Amino acid sequence: MEFKDRKVLVRVDFNVPLQDGGIADDTRMRAALPTIQYLINQGARIILCSHLGRPKGQVVESLSLRPVADHLSSLLGKQVAFSSDCVGEVAKTAASQLKNGEVLLLENTRFHPEEKANEDGFTIELASLADLYVNDAFGSAHRAHASTVGVANKLPAVAGFLMQKELQYLGEALAEPEHPFVAILGGAKISDKIGVVDRLLQMADRMLIGGGMANTFLAAQGFDMAESLVEEDAVTTAAEILKRAGDSLLLPSDLVVAAEFDEKAEHKTVAVGSIPEGWRAMDIGPETVRVFCTEIEDARLVVWNGPMGVFEFEPFAAGTQALANAVAECGGTTIVGGGDSAAAIRQAGLTESISHVSTGGGASLEFLEGKTLPGVAALLDKKT
């Protein structure tokens, strides 16, 4: 597309954690810089829009994107203008004053309930600010909102470089996976990932399951999980998956358990089936770590989504950290889904050692499941 002299609305994913009025983690912002810088160099007039948090259609001052505009200014080394609304006269005036190569960030789109409802009038207002639309927010591509789908149907719409990278890595990995292919799934719930488990089991040579979701599988095998998080409604489903999976699905053989859900709680390592009454599983144990890391070692493709335990508590982070190191040292293609597993990779300082760390937790899960992402489907097909 030709961008010079054109106003370009760019949907970015600046849903970043805030702390003490500043940005606690700017990973998602940095991921958008190649697209923004390219548009600056092309002489576009750049209008950025994003959501932040869950304001539920209300103006919530603590979820304002103003601090994000200030931080983006420092990342780009140039002033980023800010509009106190994403639609209306204030947004129109700010957009109309842009010169080539200048950047404007609009206020949180979710301050308006019409954003999530993909309401047509709101969409038309948002689209009226620009001539072209670029979606670079893979993390929001699974949402059919006004700023991800509605605007794409009103303006010529294309993908940004981050969106392209996400689709390329995830898409190519699943289209023709290299083998051995090892899938690692963790996190709290199996119910969120049943579709992903089913699809990856058809492709992966090994599936390693840890975290809270492993508890439900272990309960399905008949183990007493004491006070561990178990999704009772999903035990039957877990049993059916185990039957289909055979020996390709590996579960923990030992666990780090705690007397209560607390960072300072008494804890110890026990074999599966030996959790003391009243205790709960908090991490995979050292023998499980050894087995899982051996599987990862020789893999040609690793896809990882979800931590192995309560890794935000230091005593229960060892399993997740060990797998992060194993994935980083693997010689194959390594893809880490967004969310907590991406946070674990960042905490360990291993981001540069991973082939691709996704910026989208929910979006990457739905993509891995084989679902069509509305924000992607709405973009122009380059073949037409």
**Residues 342-366: tens digit of each pLDDT:** 888 888 899 999 999 988 878 888 8
Average pLDDT of the chain, as a whole number: 94
User: Collapsing DSSP states into helix, strand and coil, what is residue 240?
Assistant: helix
The catalytically annotated residue of 66, 189, 199, 346 is 189
Query: What are the two backbone dihedrals, phi and then psi, of residue 110, each rounded to the nearest 5 degrees?
Result: -80, 5
Q: What is the pLDDT of residue 381?
A: 64
Question: Between β-strands 254-258 and 267-271, what pairing exists: parallel, antiparallel or unpaired?
Answer: antiparallel
For residue 358, the 8-state DSSP code is: -
Residue 257: Cβ-neighbour burial (10 angstroms; 0-12, 13-18, 19+): buried
The catalytically annotated residue of 28, 110, 143, 165 is 28
Q: Kindly state which CATH superfamily the domain 166-369 is placed in.
A: Phosphoglycerate kinase, N-terminal domain (3.40.50.1260)
Q: What is the pLDDT of residue 260?
A: 96
Tokens of 380: 């122009």
Decide if 101 is catalytic.
no
Q: What is the pLDDT of residue 384?
A: 40
Sign, Cα dihedral of 159, 142, 188, 298: negative
Q: What is the pLDDT of residue 21?
A: 84
Q: What is the pLDDT of residue 383?
A: 46
User: Collapsing DSSP states into helix, strand and coil, what is residue 315?
Assistant: helix
Decide if 165 is catalytic.
no
- Assign 3-class secondary structure to 26-85: CHHHHHHHHHHHHHHHCCCEEEEECCCCCCCCCCCHHHCCHHHHHHHHHHHCCCEEEECC
pLDDT one-digit tens code per residue, 9-25: 999 999 999 988 889 98
Cα 119 to Cα 117: distance, rounded to the nearest angstrom: 5
Closest by Cα among 229, 232, 185 to 204: 185
pLDDT one-digit tens code per residue, 67-83: 999 999 999 999 999 99
Q: What is the pLDDT of residue 62?
A: 94
* Residue ranges, CATH 3.40.50.1260, the chain: 7-159, 166-369
Q: What is the pLDDT of residue 364?
A: 85
Decide if 28 is catalytic.
yes
The catalytically annotated residue of 187, 339, 360, 375 is 339
Q: What is the pLDDT of residue 135?
A: 97
For residue 309, the 8-state DSSP code is: S
Decide if 362 is catalytic.
yes
pLDDT one-digit tens code per residue, 240-270: 999 999 999 999 999 999 999 999 999 999 9
CA 149 vs CA 56, 105, 295: distances in Å? 19, 19, 40
Please work out, in degrees rounded to the nearest 5, the angle formed at the alpha carbon of residue 216 by the alpha carbons of 211 and 220.
Answer: 140
Cα 44 to Cα 285: distance, rounded to the nearest angstrom: 53
Residue 27: Cβ-neighbour burial (10 angstroms; 0-12, 13-18, 19+): middle
Q: Which residues pair with 157 in a beta bridge?
A: 133
What kind of architecture, by CATH, is found in domain 7-159? 3-Layer(aba) Sandwich (3.40)
Residues of the chain with pLDDT under 70: 338, 381-384
Sign, Cα dihedral of 18, 313, 186, 276: negative
The catalytically annotated residue of 66, 346, 362, 371 is 362
What is the per-residue DSSP string for 185-229?
E-SS-STTSHHHHHHHHHH-SEEEE-HHHHHHHHHHTT---TTS-
Q: What is the pLDDT of residue 361?
A: 76
Cα 182 to Cα 293: distance, rounded to the nearest angstrom: 11
pLDDT one-digit tens code per residue, 80-105: 999 999 999 999 999 999 999 999 99
CA 120 vs CA 124, 145, 210, 269, 364: distances in Å? 6, 10, 43, 56, 27
- B/e letters for 300-327, b = 16+ CB within 10 Å, e = fewer, are ebbbbbbbbbbbebebbbbbbbbbbbbb
Q: Are 339 and 312 in contact (CB under 8 A)?
A: no
Q: What is the pLDDT of residue 342?
A: 85
